[in-house]
Structure 1
Amino acid sequence: MDTGTKPLSYELLAEVGQGAYARVYKAREVGDTRRLLAVKKFIIRANASASEAGIPAFMIREVALLRKMENFNHPNIVKLLDAHVVPVDTGLDLTVVLEYIDQDLSTFLSKAPASGLSHDCIKNMMLQLLRGLDFLHTNMVLHRDLKPENVLVSSCGQVKIADFGLARIHTFNIALTPGVVTLWYRAPEVLLNTVYMSAVDIWSAGCIFAEFFLLRPLFQGYTDAQQLQKIFEVIGLPSEEDWPKDSLISYSVKWGPEGSCTKLLPNLGAEEKDLLNQCLAFRPSGRISAAKALAHPFFTKN
């Protein structure tokens, strides 16, 4: 997993985040550039079982996907600068060095004025998010955990998709797991434990699009069933014909009202409402693609 070059030299400045599997530090490169870095140190505990020894598969996938995308240097994907593994006691130390971005989208939205974000700001940020998604989907990558905490925003307003811990390369034979995407940004097909593809990322992007206007998450359920009910309260209950046949969850008129309810987003213009509706279509096949969304009148009309 070594990048084949000498590891970057840096000094850690502060811990800025900690999860179940990794700690993230703000660091500064040692040398002439003195650029800021994000250093992600994965926590790999030594296992007694030989079958579980080594680096967990999801960590390898994350680094491999970042390496795959590194060559393209896309402006809306966080850039991998270094990755290396060293033995530590009886375990391993996997370190990933990324470009440093000031804040995530969740923090950015929390600082927004009470009057809301400007139309131009929303258009610019959504455009960048979709460009990043279009790049991923063109390269057969499903992010599978798109949410404001995994979208970075630089001080100059550049948007970058980050955190590929749940991402996968899509193939037709892939065994996709249901426990993906943070609940509030989870597509109906995932909640219904049925087949899903890249449209799950478009659903999540649609939820973020609504959040740009609301300054809070659009659907805030606390169980899968409650999340579905929150969704149907907004987009309306789909017909029984549109309900996925491979879902173990039965269709019922009790899931929600028929017909969409637009009370939550009353101030949207025609173009933005149309784009949001196409991102939040119940059927994945009816959901707009990232490429088509980029050509939507919301972006092309002045």
Structure 2
Amino acid sequence: MEVGDTALGYELLAEVGEGTYGKVYRAREVGGNQRLLAVKKFNIHSDASENGIPVFMIREVALLSKMRHFSHPNIVKLLDASAVAVGRSLDLTLVLEYIDQDLSTFLSKAPASGLSHNCIKNVMLQLLRGLDFLHTNMVLHRDLKPENILVSSHGEVKIADFGLARIYTFNVALTPGVVTLWYRAPEVLLNCVYMSSVDMWSAGCIFAELFLLRPLFQGYTEVQQLQKIFEVIGLPDEDDWPEDSPVSYSVSLGPKGSCINLIPNLGPDENDLLAQCLAFRPSSRISAAKALAHPFFRKH
């Protein structure tokens, strides 16, 4: 077993994930209360690090460090970070609180009859509280999906993986290639300017998935993804099509008109909240703060 060289002592127990730049391990704190930890270890070789640490890593460390001071219960906590030069390479280590599963795994264990209404309400409440905190602090997550939402064995929901997150201002230029395709908002697919409402679209997709136990929009190209979206919410009027989009308006993208019930067999409150999350126009999309006050949560 390897003992960590950050200020927080730990021993690695098992590898639990692997990415382009490194690996994620389950670890245990040495001394103290011996809590379980998640350790992300990145090795940046000389050919990849000529321009320093990749931007997404800097963002993740900076944003998690900023948010650590607030200690929000629905944001995964960064406990420690270190960077060590090894020859011409750089070893970057992040130590985070450990949560045993993500929402994707949680959904895969759901009974065939589906999740209970209270369970869905509880997951969405916590997710929206985390999003409201991020957006209040001018942070866009930009890659919300079940794999980046952690669910503890006690039912705690925490937003994780801030590699694509950005602090936004009114004039910032944001990259179009963000958010996994199935959870990507129309304005991102259309290569338009976007703001925090992109996270609310992703939250709406996740809300639907909690009922369906499968992704709502499963396209495999950007055009097909738009078609899948418009099959459900209806093709907007040409007047609502964003002027800054390089993609031309076309009636072939989907059926005209809006759909009142996006998912059959949902109650009016559920459908209303879902429809407000999945509004085509970002300015018409509900905010996290307003969603938390929606009758769907108040009634139960």
Q: TM-score, normalised by structure 1?
A: 0.95
Answering whether residue 161 of structure 2 is matched by residue 163 of structure 1, we say yes
Off by >6 Å, runs of 4+ in structure 1? none
User: Which of residues 88, 96, 99 in structure 2 aligns to 1:98?
Assistant: 96
Specify the code of the residue in structure 2 equivalent to 1:217: P
- Cα distance, 1:74 vs. partner? 0.2
Q: Give deviations 1:164-206, integer Å, cap 9, x for gaps.
A: 0000001112110100000000000000000100000000000
Give the secondary structure class of the aligned counterpart of 2:273.
helix
Identity %: 80
Distance (Å, rounded) in 2 between the aligned partners of 1:158 and 1:285: 31
CA-atom RMSD in angstroms: 1.4
Matches within 5 A, 1:1-302: 7-47=7-47, 52-261=50-259, 265-302=263-300
Q: Give deviations 1:52-72, integer Å, cap 9, x for gaps.
A: 332112111110000000000
Instruction: Answer whether contact 1:191 1:224 (CA < 8 A) is retained.
Output: yes
Distance (Å, rounded) in 1 between the aligned partners of 2:53 and 2:122: 39
- Cα distance, 1:43 vs. partner? 2.7
Give the secondary structure class of the aligned counterpart of 2:249.
coil
Q: Give deviations 1:111-157, integer Å, cap 9, x for gaps.
A: 00000000000001000000000000000000000000000000000
Distance (Å, rounded) in 2 between the aligned partners of 1:13 and 1:277: 44
- Cα distance, 1:262 vs. partner? 6.7
Give the secondary structure class of the aligned counterpart of 1:130.
helix
What stretches of structure 1 of length at least 5 have no aligned partner? none
Change (3 A) 1:276 1:263: closer
Instruction: Answer whether contact 1:83 1:94 (CA < 8 A) is retained.
Output: yes
- Cα distance, 1:20 vs. partner? 1.1
Instruction: Answer whether contact 1:37 1:100 (CA < 8 A) is retained.
Output: yes
Distance (Å, rounded) in 2 between the aligned partners of 1:62 and 1:127: 24
Specify the code of the residue in structure 2 equivalent to 1:32: G
Q: TM-score, normalised by structure 2?
A: 0.96
Distance (Å, rounded) in 1 between the aligned partners of 2:154 and 2:221: 37
- Cα distance, 1:7 vs. partner? 1.1
Distance (Å, rounded) in 1 between the aligned partners of 2:6 and 2:113: 49
Give the secondary structure class of the aligned counterpart of 1:102.
coil
Give the secondary structure class of the aligned counterpart of 1:38.
strand
Distance (Å, rounded) in 2 between the aligned partners of 1:289 and 1:160: 19
Count of equivalent residues: 296
Give the secondary structure class of the aligned counterpart of 2:24.
strand
Distance (Å, rounded) in 1 between the aligned partners of 2:6 and 2:51: 26
